[in-house]
Structure 1
């Protein structure tokens, strides 16, 4: 059975870890969220920073954190190894759950943390996977001359 929990091992909790990621990690940002990340040799972990500047009410800050944690939990197995810290910006309090999810996914893609989606080609899958047939020229060989 797949666990739907968000275990402690999947969280960035220590101040020293946050400081390390902010100082040595890379960063991408959108108007509502910023993502700081650093590649490390452990499973993907998430840290959240949602200040009172984002929303003065704890209910609003917790809604943002709950949405980001849930999205991360669903994607954790697909993510590249490393520590990810999401910093919410004031515009995040006006976003819907779907908008927060899209912003977070966009940041993860820009960071290269998610694998690129398979590009749908024009060739049917059964033909694309089989050995290609030899290509014959429709014109006869003119020979030497």
Structure 2
């Protein structure tokens, strides 16, 4: 297991875990749209660091290997930037064609979406 610098891991406290937590974000989310991904975000009710949820549906990204690659890239981008994000709950959604993008293009789009959160 790699040793991450303090604050750069991806602990349970940094994830949306339950359906209720996802529903809370979906109910009143602000959207930041990219060409192939959408980022939903909502301020956290309780104080704390940003948390990430992933909803990469089979409808838009057919192959499991592509869905899993998008999730890995999104988690890594979030993990590295978590300390600089405001206290929000985030959900990454894939749109059509996201599975066909290369790693660099996906990472650039995710970074751009994270930069646009206010």
- Matching residue of 1:62: 68
Q: Which runs of 5+ in 2 are unaligned?
A: none
- TM normalised by structure 2 equals 0.87
- Matching residue of 2:16: 12
Q: Which runs of 5+ in 1 are unaligned?
A: 113-145
Tell me which structure has the larger Cα radius of gyration. Answer: 1
- How far residue 26 of structure 1 moved from its aligned partner, in angstroms, is 0.9
Pairing of 1:133-144 with structure 2 (within 5 A): none
Question: How many angstroms apart in 1 are the aligned matches of 2:50 and 2:116?
Answer: 16
> Does the Cα contact within 8 Å between 2:61 and 2:97 map onto a contact in 1?
no
User: RMSD value over aligned CA atoms?
Assistant: 1.5
- Matching residue of 1:27: 31
Question: How many angstroms apart in 2 are the aligned matches of 1:103 and 1:36?
Answer: 14
Give the length in aligned residue pairs.
112
